[in-house]
Amino acid sequence: MEPEDHQMIFRIGINIGDVMVSKGNLFGDAVNVAARLESAAQPSGILYLKTGFLI
């Protein structure tokens, strides 16, 4: 196999807001929005809300 056959492709979603942590798990609207942004991103893409970028 060629090295390019082993590439990892990431999608990243960035959001800000209150997050609750319990037993190593993250909860809250900010986490849910970041997860939705991540799933909507193109392969190797990053999506974020403008409000988070401005901070």
H or E element in which residue 12 lies: strand 12-14
User: Of 38, 33, 40, which Cα lies nearest the Cα of 18?
Assistant: 33
| pLDDT given for residue 7 in this prediction | 85
Mean pLDDT over 41-53 rounds to: 88
The neighbour count for residue 4, using CB atoms within 10 Å, is 6
Model pTM greater than 0.85?
A: no
CA-CA distance, 27 to 21, in Å (whole number)?
A: 6
- Average pLDDT over the chain reads 90
- In this predicted structure, the answer to whether residue 3 has a pLDDT above a threshold of 70 is no
- Enter the tokens of residue 15: 């959001």
pLDDT score, position 6: 80
- Give the model confidence (pLDDT) of 5-25 as tens digits: 788 999 999 999 999 999 999
